Amino acid sequence: MRYLLIGNPNVGKSSVFNLLTNSYAHVGNYGGITVESKLGKFIHGEIIDLPGTYSVCPNSEDEGIVTYSLINEKYDGLIDIVDSTHLKRNLHLTIQLLELGVPTFIVANMTDELEYSGRKLDISKLSNYLKSPVIPISAKTKSGIEDLKSRLSKVVSSEALQLYYGNIIELAINKIMPIIDKLHLNPRFVAIQLLEGNTELFKNLEKGKQDEVKKIMSDTETEVIKSGTALSVKGAIFNTRREFIDKVVKESLLVTSNKNHKKLLNHKIDRIVTHPFFGLIIFLLVMFSIYFLTFDFLGTILSDYIDVFLTDYFSPFLKSLLLNMGLSETGIFMSLILDGIVAGVGGVVVFIPQMTILFLILAVIEGTGYMARVAIMLDTLLSKFGLNGKSIVPLVTGIGCNVPAIMATRTIADKKERNLTILITPFMSCSARIPVYALLASIFFEKHQALVIISMYVIGTIVALLAAKLLSLSIFKDKANNFILEIPPYRIPAFKNVYRHTKMMVKDFIEKAGKFILLGTVVLWFLQYLGPNGSNVNPEESFLALIGNFFAPLFIPLGFGSWEASSSLVVGFLAKELIYSNMIVIYGGESAISGVFNPVSAYSFMVFSLLYLPCLATVGTIHQETKSTKFTLITLLFTFTVAYIVTLIIYNIGNLLF
């Protein structure tokens, strides 16, 4: 058996996928989390988890993946996940899927929350209206999951749901069906989708047939408007579905209590957390608390223990072991292992506790539904800078990593709006930059580490907003500004989901950092160990120094015009983690760094590390998503120029004040 798993955003689709397949796809509270399909094995075959969508007729790139899969994937049936607490909205997609005529299991999720809100579903009536089996479940409590698994063992054939759309549209459907009869999909479904403007299906028609369909669509639109049925064919189809859905919900959704406790509680909390002033203060306090716990308190304590273990126990033990194996204390291999690999990779291991705590807290906050409220609250503010609210998802995602953040822009339908978001996303401080902040903040701002580190995020956000404003007034001035965002109810985060998400993020950080840093530190060590005059040269005469000295004059006005600092930034283009490891390898420890930088130049270096060129992986993703070498090069030039100007201003202001 092979099923496609489909549903609106925030219906618990990925949670159901996890429970059915024992696999894990990130569970989020707003659109853009799952931007590609995921394949999972389950007891009866395979399930393909598709991105959340509101319609089969795509409005964005990720929704296009759903339509593409319906057309091109081989599957035996569909699993349609609906949020039973928002049945009216969810059934619009369900009706489109049922019109396809493919065997479909309708899974009514969150039935526990529905009951808490004082309502319940009449499953029998709902199944009769939709002519498909409806299985009530709760992904949170796992209620109904076993029943769902057993039902999926056998595909039950079902006839296509057929609504009557009125004389004008029905006539158009009958005209289009013979034209597209060679497509393997239900002709009536295809005809309705074409009338709605489904571009993915339209592209599958031959050129001659496209012209015929266009003519029918144009004539039908004229007739619909002329008759006063609606302002468009799509609107007329929507109205018919809405009338049917209203009838279905009225008959199958029963009220058991007059008081919706969940809704009342959500409303009371939202009045505070989405308030334009108090909500912003709360958000800033939440973020400061996160970074205080991570970098000033718990995370730092744990990191210090690991640092002591590596410095005082592991390195001496490893050195002794290598000496007993016959390696020379001043030999090349001893230096490579201790000064290169252990110093570089070990330095990143020190930050694993901080990363774990950061990702854990963010996962908990995201799981409550709070981040969606933040998006709504900040939409008004962001719109003043020329940004659409949909851009919030990539920008927030960029705090973790810029690569998935760039990919998350697929949810943005307008091309100009999407490109604007891609262009400013690299200014958001990803987790790979944190080791650099933590290193310099611990040396020069010991008593204010959290404040200094959170200032990097504030600067990155401000620069992104100002850049967006500038660009929206020039290059992107004609872009659209529509914002639709799903708001989930407040929930207590599921421990399993929080654990899995944290584990996945930490694992990705370790694998990515380990891969780049292990290779990078070895290469950097060789560049420092070798020079034009041979091996084991003075660091100032190494190949790394030559590279650094070439770029060093460029950074003199910024306060860090040494070859050590400039070479760290050069290799940081490969991966931001390498900035930290390069500094550790070159300087040889915190005491050496404290003698080269001062608080102002150290802060300037942190700002430049934040804003300058995105890492190579992000650059590759930008090119992949935009399919434009020109746009990718413009992004590199733009980010470097902005970084230079901002850092120059901060350095000079810092010197005047201190």
Question: pLDDT tens digits, residue range 278-294?
Answer: 888 888 888 778 777 87
Residue 481 has pLDDT above 60, yes or no: no
Dihedral over Cα of 138, 143, 146, 147: its sign? negative
Can you give the pLDDT at residue 30? 36
Q: What percent of the chain has pLDDT over 90?
A: 33
Do residues 404 and 501 touch, judged by C-beta distance below 8 A?
no
Q: What is the pLDDT of residue 295?
A: 65
Confidence of residue 406 (pLDDT cuts 50, 70, 90): confident
> Quick one: tokens of 386?
């020329």
- Domains of the chain, earliest start first: 2-151 (3.40.50.300), 167-255 (1.10.287.1770), 260-488+496-658 (no CATH)
Name the more confident of 262 and 633: 633
In the sheet where 2-7 sits, what is the strand order? 38-42, 45-49, 2-7, 77-83, 104-109, 134-136
Q: What percent of the chain has pLDDT over 70?
A: 88
Q: Are 424 and 638 in contact (CB under 8 A)?
A: no
29 pLDDT more than 60: no
Say which amino acid occupies 282: I
Please answer whether residues 91 and 242 qualify as being in contact, where contact means their C-beta atoms are separated by less than 8 angstroms. Answer: no
Position with higher pLDDT, 177 vs 658? 177
53-90 pLDDT tens trace:
888 887 766 677 888 888 888 899 999 999 998 899 99
CB 175 within 8 A of CB 216: yes
534 or 558, greater pLDDT: 558
pLDDT score of 603 more than 60:
yes
Q: Give the mean model confidence (pLDDT) for residues 225-240.
A: 92
Higher-pLDDT residue of 122, 388: 122
CA distances from 110 to 135, 141, 181 (A): 11, 9, 40
Structure confidence at residue 656 (pLDDT): 92
Nearest CA-CA partner of 38 in 11, 61, 60, 69: 69
Least confident of 8-12, 22-26, 465-469, 489-493: 22-26
Considering the chain, what is the average pLDDT of its residues?
83
Q: List the structure tokens of 502.
A: 């944290």
Average pLDDT over residues 315-336: 84
Confidence tier at 134 by pLDDT (50, 70, 90): very high
**Whether residue 11 has pLDDT greater than 80:** yes
Q: Does 224 score more than 90 pLDDT?
A: yes
Closest CA to 388 of 376, 370, 401, 403: 376
Best-predicted range by mean pLDDT among 382-396, 466-480, 558-572, 577-591? 558-572
Q: Does the structure show a pLDDT above 70 at 256?
A: yes
Q: Given pLDDT bands bounded at 50, 70 and 90, which one contains residue 34?
A: very low
Q: Supply 571's token pair.
A: 């290799």
Instruction: List alpha helices for 3-76, DSSP H.
Output: 13-21, 61-72
Q: Which residue has the tokens 């434009």?
A: 628
CA 81/CA 83 separation, integer angstroms: 7
